[in-house]
Copies of this chain bind each other. A is one copy, B any other.
């Protein structure tokens, strides 16, 4: 063996069975996003390096895959391109570039892979798909409410009932950090530490906060604020004297009121300890949790300053990203896929007797069946009929069409149902119509059963 046959570390091949399941989820996501008035957008996998750097915070920057500059870079090691790290920064770039041509409120969805040089783990890969929805141009909390409703609809359509959309606000967090005495310059560092609360617990966060230069009194004042699942009303009273934080609390109250009229209502929960890792969020932040997964199924938030990093002028924006791989992991473990997702191969196998005239007849038969909308596989070479049956059975092809010398002389095709074993001679001339009308399933069904497939 001269070349490696495994995919690269943290990357995966998707065989037909996998692709069908992925496509099923993507179709549901697309359908719901379109119903919410979002429009499709796609951006290149590669971006200029400067487009990505400085947007994701210290942890993110380290995980960007960098591409060697062609030509001279081959020897100097110089890089000029980088692989897309998320779908939000490319969106901000596109909005800045096409500002004049886009509608005042631009609502887009985007379902594409992103790449992160992360340590692979369960449900965490180096190439993974994100399913993003973002609404650009409005600071109204109606935007957050619509985004939460859209992802709640997606998850319900996929069969999820036990998810929670945790909600917080970056200005609420800033208010709590101020309240505990964390200096503004260390807020970013504090959020990076706080984001690990689920993973490392309060003690771990406390240690990391101190390691990041936040003094012990501030840490001791801060941690209890996240211990007891504070209610929004209680938080409002605590932060009443801090205008920005108080306004953020009011905004979240508004989001909960609006969500009473949407499908997200029963799933929203305020959680003061939610921090989110990315540095570009400026307002509401959201994250989806399910009981049997340590990580989240998706997350998002408001990022009113990001487009300004490209345009030189801020434009309000808010988005939500669903993680396709995480959703697939949970759906697979729970057996949530409809049965017909896993059957998607050919309907009929056309057999072959010799590679002369019979091969031409076989291809003509396949042509007529395909024109009638039937999915047809052709056994590519002459072989024993038993072997061809065996191939059909192994490939999950239900019907086999046989056109030997006898059939050709009589102007018929023998059609055999591989599950019932029944067979029948069908006139060659009308075979496309016979199949597309469902006759194969009605006339060759297992005896005693009513096959309504």
Interface on A for B, CB 8 Å cutoff? 1-8, 11-16, 18-20, 22-23, 34-37, 39-48, 50-51, 54, 65-68, 70, 74, 76-79, 81, 83, 90, 93-94, 96-98, 101, 103-105, 107-108, 113, 115, 117, 126-127, 135, 137-143, 145-146, 149, 153, 254, 257-258, 260-263, 309-312, 344-346, 349, 352, 355, 359-364, 366-367, 370, 373-381, 391, 394-395
Taking CB atoms, residues of chain B closer than 8 Å to A260 are 360
CB-based contact A311/B5 at 8 Å: yes
> What are 12 residue pairs bridging A and B, where the CB atoms are less than 8 Å apart in the complex?
A4-B48, A4-B310, A5-B96, A7-B43, A11-B46, A16-B41, A16-B108, A35-B376, A46-B65, A140-B381, A149-B367, A261-B360
Report how far A54 CA is from B2 CA in the complex, Å: 11
- A142 engages B44 (CB within 8 Å): no
Contacts A51-B4, A145-B363; is A377 near B140 (CB within 8 Å)?
A: no
Contact of A113 among B45, B48, B51 (CB under 8 A): B45
B360 and A257 form a contact (CB under 8 A)? yes
Inter-chain contact A37/B378, CB cutoff 8 Å: yes
Give the most central of A22, A51, A68, A374: most B CB within 10 Å: A68
Q: How many copies does the complex hold?
A: 2
* Minimum C-beta distance from A305 to chain B (A): 12
* CB proximity of A440 to chain B, nearest CB, Å: 16
Are A107 and B359 in contact, CB atoms less than 8 angstroms apart? no
- Tell me which of B2, B16, B381 contacts A310 (CB under 8 A): B2
Partner of A395, one of B2, B103, B349, B367: B103
Contact B142 A355 (CB under 8 A): yes
Q: A142-B381, A309-B2 are in contact. Are A40 and B19 (CB under 8 A)?
A: yes
Q: A360-B257, A363-B262, A367-B261 are in contact. Are A93 and B3 (CB under 8 A)?
A: yes
Q: Which residues of B contact A37 (CB under 8 A)?
A: 345-346, 349, 375-378
Q: How far is the CA of A145 from the CA of B395 in the complex (A)?
A: 21
* Inter-subunit contact B67/A103 (CB<8 Å): no
Instruction: Point out the residues of chain B lying under 8 angstroms from A146, CB to CB.
Output: 363, 366, 378, 380
Contact B68 A375 (CB under 8 A): no
Contact of A41 (CB < 8 Å), options: B19, B360, B370: B19
Tell me which residues across on chain B come within 8 A of A5, comparing CB atoms: 93, 96-97, 310-311
Closest chain-B Cβ to A261's Cβ sits at a distance in Å of 4
Shortest Cβ distance from A81 into B: residue: B8
- Known interface pairs A1-B310, A309-B3. Does A261 touch B140 (Cβ–Cβ under 8 Å)? no
Q: A8-B47, A355-B141 are in contact. Are A2 and B363 (CB under 8 A)?
A: no
B258-A310 in contact (CB<8A): no
A344 to B31 CA separation, bound complex (whole angstroms) = 12
Chain B nearest Cβ from A380, distance in angstroms: 4
